[in-house]
Amino acid sequence: MTEQPAADEGAPGEGTTDGGTPTATDTADGGTPVPTASVDAALASLEDDGLRGYNYAYLDEHTKREVRRAMLKAVAIPGHQVPYASRPMPLARGWGTGGIQASLSLLGPGDTFKVIDQGADGSVNAANIRRLADNTADVTTTTDTTGADLIQSRHRIPEEVLTDDQRLVLQVPITDPLRNVDPSDAANRRRHAHANYGKMWVHLYENVVEYGEINIAARYPTMVAGRYLMDPSPIPRWDVPKLDDADHLTILAAGREARIYAVPPHTAVEPLAFTDREFTVERFPDQACHACGSTDTYLVEVSEEATDRGADAFETRYACNDTSFCEKRREHPELSKDHHLDREGVDWGPGTPDAAADDDTGSAADQGGTGQ
Amino acid sequence: MTLLEASGLAVRYGPGCPRCLESTGDREGTNQCPHCGSVVACADADLSVEAGEVLGVVGESGSGKSSLAELLALERDDDATTAGEVRYAGHDGNLLDVDYETRHDLRTGEIALVHQHIRDGLTLEFTGGGNVAEQLLSAGWRSYEDVRERVRELFEATEIPVARMDDPTSTYSGGMQRRVQIARALATDPDLVVLDEPTAGLDVSVQARVLDTFRRVQREAGVAAIVVSHDLSVVRLLADRTLVMRHGRVVESGLTDRVMEDPHHEYTQTLINSVI
């Protein structure tokens, strides 16, 4: 990484501490260039100028161009993993560095940016990524899904329907769905090249043998445009159908693995399943969000202190995973997931709670215990 | 009807030189070229297999049996230089020149290989049933119940305990693993199965059961087979016709009974005398 430029150094461009004009306090052995006597003063000076010397949107233009090129290629070959350079970012690889590079390459000053981490806008990782974009790319940030031009997300697709004006960037820890069945990337690339997915089907078969249904919680293997098998990132099964024939562009970017792939708008995305063991989403029978009462959203179990039942008592409650939509629902309980669209009844994600309940009783009974 | 007709098959490991062929073989008593050091695993091999027929290939260790078998089963080895021509019923052109796609289709449908080494043929982490199912799923089966039913059927046919179907293959005994390979090979009703040392590493009673099972299933399904073995009794039991290989060359061929009872080639005579 480049060092932070000295506070009083006016050199534009990338951090050029080494080759640039030495400052008064710059020591020969390359010690701290921040001219200060105390930590507080150092922090104050960084707050002013810490980002001076960085390019717009943190990455230099060549890097952004390379990432964009990879994205274009990914769009042209839906579901195919396109390699890119993956620069070091001010964050450990595997913590969203791929997503950040994709987002920063796409963002412009007029854009509104939203970052979600497992459904929440407020978690540390999401807040930091949002702040990085805010500081370096001069974008407006929001937590409102409908107001965002670009949404970077880890492990969720928002509940509210995304439109063709919006782009979704998903952070990807592991790019190849086949790695579950064969650790050799070389062999797996050959399998992708020839659409030879027999081993993954065996994995699904054994899943049914063991559980009576395909019980892959996240990273559900998914065919894109009938050609490439894709790891849709660790989104829950609940979110996978949202990618099918979606209006928005989805970019999936992995920093550690240096791969980018994409689902262009209106692309067929089909989760692998048997004709007699169909793809199912998570079910939350008889549960509703304790905060907003929703029954048609993806719920998570939260264990909270139940002080009314005495000290050290805990209760398990269900809550919407998408915090921004939950907040809206709390104010308008009847708000639909497509409330912001001109059209109505947009098919987005799993159906209504009634349909889900029907599906539940039907398929669970059929599928349970047929393993032997 | 001739199912497969091969001529001039050759497999070479190493750089090769113009004198490789004349310097190796039975008469020279070696399969390694003294000029360039290449190993001519097999050369000038001609053979044909009729539909439903079993062809045996015998020879000592290193005589080129496995190289020949893998070549015929379209198992590609990137280190090897191959030559020759294989005509296969219902396919135009040389089978050795087909692209990956066609080869994959053939291997999941029409030509199956039972590997000499279990690890080459099975994924031991998968269940026994899963290994057999892989063949069906690769061939495009998409109904779970159908796959399940077929796997159960094959387990019964090859006498693997159906109760062990959903256990990891690594927990199976050697004989069971061998039979899983056979079940897998037969899964998609191929026309031709190539068995490379189907009884290697098994004790005699298990050998007998594996062979018995295969012979029965082979006759019932009417599938043609090429059985490669160093063990004359295996070939005697299974094969209608037999090839004898030595130093990478076919030294004798004929009806199995004829070869066993009236061996012409000196090496075959030694081989048979040493066994019986």
Answer yes or no: is the ipTM higher than 0.90.
no
> Are A137 and A28 contained in the same domain?
no
pLDDT of residue A27: 46
- Give the end of a domain, one of A271, A302, A327: A271
> Are A75 and A163 contained in the same domain?
yes
Residues 248-307 of A with CB under 8 A from B: 274-277
Distances (CA, A) of A85 to A66, A69, A184, A227: 8, 11, 21, 25
> Are A226 and A298 contained in the same domain?
no
What number is the average pLDDT over the span B30-49? Answer: 93
Residue of A nearest to B137 (CA): A198
Q: What is the CATH number of the domain that holds A204?
A: 3.40.50.11310
pLDDT in tens, B180-201: 999 999 999 999 999 999 888 7
> Are A154 and A184 contained in the same domain?
yes
pLDDT of residue A15: 40
Asked which of A257-261, B47-51, B129-133, B209-213 is least confident by mean pLDDT, the reply is B209-213
pLDDT of residue A352: 41
Per the prediction, chain B carries an average pLDDT of 91
Task: Provide the domain limits for residue A365.
Answer: 284-335+347-372
Q: What is the pTM of this model?
A: 0.83
| pLDDT exceeds 70 at position B155 | yes
> Are A240 and A324 contained in the same domain?
no
Question: What CA–CA distance (Å, rounded) separates B270 from A68?
Answer: 71
Of B117, B122, B130, B120, whose CA–CA distance to B167 is shortest?
A: B130
pLDDT of residue B109: 87
> Are A111 and A23 contained in the same domain?
no
Q: Which residues of chain A make contact with B138, given a CB cutoff of 8 A?
A: 196, 198, 201
Asked if the structure places residue A11 within a domain, the reply is no
pLDDT of residue B202: 82
**Sheet arrangement for strand B192-196:** B111-114, B192-196, B224-229, B54-59, B241-246, B249-255
> Are A261 and A304 contained in the same domain?
no
pLDDT of residue B27: 86
Determine whether the interchain pair A205/B123 forms a contact, defined as Cβ–Cβ distance below 8 Å. Answer: no
> Are A26 and A163 contained in the same domain?
no
The residues of chain A scoring below 70 in pLDDT are: 1-36, 42-52, 347, 349-372
> Are A174 and A224 contained in the same domain?
yes
Distances (CA, A) of B149 to A37, A177, B162, B200: 79, 27, 11, 30
Q: Which residues of chain B make contact with A276, given a CB cutoff of 8 A?
A: 143-145
Asked if the structure places residue A355 within a domain, the reply is yes
What number is the average pLDDT over the span B70-80? Answer: 88
pLDDT of residue A29: 53
Asked if the structure places residue A290 within a domain, the reply is yes
Question: What CA–CA distance (Å, rounded) separates B229 from B247?
Answer: 15
pLDDT of residue A307: 73
- Give the end of a domain, one of A218, A250, A271: A271
Asked if A326 is an active-site residue, the reply is yes
Asked if the structure places residue A352 within a domain, the reply is yes
pLDDT of residue A94: 82
pLDDT of residue A9: 39
Determine whether the interchain pair A202/B166 forms a contact, defined as Cβ–Cβ distance below 8 Å. Answer: no
> Are A224 and A293 contained in the same domain?
no
Asked if the structure places residue A4 within a domain, the reply is no
Q: How many domains does chain A have?
A: 3
> Are A127 and A257 contained in the same domain?
yes
Asked if the structure places residue A9 within a domain, the reply is no
pLDDT of residue A41: 72
Asked if the structure places residue A126 within a domain, the reply is yes
- Give the end of a domain, one of A250, A271, A292: A271
pLDDT of residue A351: 52
Q: Which residues contact A93 (CB under 8 A, 6 or more apart)?
A: A86, A255, A256
Asked if A79 is an active-site residue, the reply is yes
The number of C-beta contacts closer than 8 angstroms across A and B is 53
Cβ–Cβ under 8 Å, residues B232 and B205: no
> Are A216 and A195 contained in the same domain?
yes
pLDDT of residue A370: 33
Q: At residue A167, what are phi and psi to the nearest 5 degrees?
A: -125, 140
B166 reaches A (C-beta below 8 A) = yes
Question: What CA–CA distance (Å, rounded) separates A84 from A259?
Answer: 6
Asked if the structure places residue A157 within a domain, the reply is yes
